Structure 1
Amino acid sequence: MNIFYCHGFASAFDPDKPKIQRLSELGPVHGVDFDFTQPAETVVERCMAALLEHDIDLVVGTSLGGWLANAAGSRAGLPFVAINPSIDPAKTLMRHVGKGVDHQGKPYELEASAVLSYSPFRLAGCGLILLDEGDDVLDSAQTASLCKPRFEVVSFPGGSHRFDHMEASLPLIDTFFHRASLVYGLDDD
């Protein structure tokens, strides 16, 4: 299983992060840094190019990266796992409009026009939604309510926005991928 990981807003792809290390137990994990201050279509196109470049089988993302995993995965016909995804980024990103500093200490400037380009979470494609009920940034109950009619949703009690249940999620992701492989005709070795 060749995995692509989409990080969240003001973050970066870091293969040494515990979440990525856990995911790598299922297969190689690739990623790139995304600039979410750019319009949504620019970000999605960058992700689509990376999916092709790395011959990806599964797209995984957290927070705004969960939104991106959904957008790019459903567009590319790839299964995706959205972890504590942003379901309405045009709303939740508004609090970051203006100048700020990302988690790596680099300054950024986010314009309202870029934020408004982010559409709601798509109810399309083949996805698994993983939620920590203790997420203090995004409303996990609202996400579950939106996604349950269309996707498999697994909620864990407690946890945080960064997602504290990756180890417990590995068997769920593996099972989901093998089921999705049958649907998409992927090589699930």
Structure 2
Amino acid sequence: MLAEPTPAVQPVRALLYLHGFNSSSASPKARLVKAACEALARHHERPFACLTPDLSHRPDLALAQAESALEVLGRENTLVVGSSMGGFLATLLAERHGLRAVLINPAVRPARFVADYLGQTLVNEASGERFTIDNSYFDQLTSQQWDRIVQPSRYLLLLGSNDETLDCRDAVRAYAGSRTLIHPGGDHGFEVLQDYLPVLFAHGGWQVPTPFSIA
């Protein structure tokens, strides 16, 4: 069941979507969010900027790229949306700049997963880039790790109860006090995101019809 969204007071003027680790702007969720932003602008007949940048697999570069994209959109009036590792990065931006954020199955402490991939060579399906996980990933993620959420009300969590990659209970504990919607049976890919677009945009202060069509 979807909870009735509670609109924020002031609508944001832009949205920044941050994809997960070793993903891209061509991912299904990134393309869906981009299309939804365009539909929202048409529906309200008002400009609504949206960026879904391709982020590096290296944590330090990914954060720098996210910061650059946020600067383009404007730090004061942007809703940050992040999935998985993108949720971790979105949290860093939200905490630094006092932004509202929607987190989809966010990685809470990603440094602890580095050991599982250490020495492995991975390939980005979108770009074809090959890279090997080394200890620098652990060092960078450890240096980026936040301690606690200062203002939980800035966050909306969208979690899948059956996430096969991340335990949703970690996010519930880490973001205690944040508005949290858990989709029964939802997996890490959160393929039901389209059903949650109204509440996602409502967190940014926008009223959208329910159901929300992006056609």
Q: TM-score, normalised by structure 2?
A: 0.72
Q: Which of the two has higher C-alpha Rg?
A: 2
Amino acid at match of 2:87: G
Which residue of the other structure, out of 62, 74, 98, is the alignment partner of 2:83? 62
Whole-angstrom distance in 1 between the partners of 2:103 and 2:147: 10
The question of 1:145 aligning with 2:173 is answered: yes
Could you give the per-residue CA deviations for residues 74-96 of structure 1, whole angstroms, max 9, x where no partner exists? 21221111100000110124323
Q: Where does 1:150-189 land on structure 2 (aligned, <5 Å)?
A: 150-178=177-205
- Report the more deviating stretch, 94-103 or 133-142: 94-103
CA change 1:91–1:111 in 2 (3 A) is same
Which of residues 136, 155, 159 is equivalent to 1:113?
136
The Cα shift of 1:146 comes to 2.4
The change in CA–CA distance for 1:138 and 1:170 in structure 2 (over 3 A counts) is same
Deviating more after overlay: 27-36 vs 81-90:
27-36
Could you tell me whether the CA contact under 8 Å between 2:17 and 2:33 is conserved in 1?
Answer: no
Percent identity at matched positions? 26
Partner-residue secondary structure (3-state), 1:178: coil
Deviates more, 1:71-80 or 1:118-127: 118-127
Gaps of 5+ in 2: 1-12, 41-47, 207-215
CA–CA distance in structure 2, aligned partners of residues 124 and 23 of structure 1: 28
Is 1:2–1:28's contact at 8 Å kept on the other side of the alignment? yes
Give the equivalent residue in structure 2 for 1:74: 95
- Runs of 4+ displaced beyond 3 Å: 22-28
Q: Equivalent residue of 1:117, what SS?
A: helix
What is the root-mean-square deviation in Å for CA atoms of aligned residues?
Answer: 2.3
Deviates more, 1:153-162 or 1:62-71: 153-162
Q: TM-score, normalised by structure 1?
A: 0.81
CA–CA distance in structure 1, aligned partners of residues 180 and 161 of structure 2:
12
Distance 2:79 2:103 in 1: 11
Unaligned regions of 5+ residues in structure 1, if any? 180-189
Distance 1:159 1:137 in 2: 12
**How far off its partner does 1:15 sit?**
7.8
Q: 1:136 aligns with which of 143, 160, 164?
A: 164
Contact 2:118 2:134 survives alignment (8 Å):
yes
**Helix, strand or coil at the partner of 1:150:** coil
Q: Which moved more, 1:162-171 or 1:61-70?
A: 162-171
Q: Is contact 1:7-1:13 (8 Å) kept?
A: yes
Whole-Å separation in 1 of the counterparts to 2:170 and 2:164: 13
CA deviation after TM superposition for structure 1 residue 122, in Å: 4.6
Q: Is the 8 A contact 1:10 1:36 kept in 2?
A: yes
2:25 matched to which residue of 1?
Answer: 13
Match of 2:211 in 1: none
- Please list, as runs of the form range in 1=range in 2, the aligned pairs for 1:40-59 lying within 5 A after superposition: 42-55=61-74, 57-59=78-80
- 1:106 positional shift: 2.2
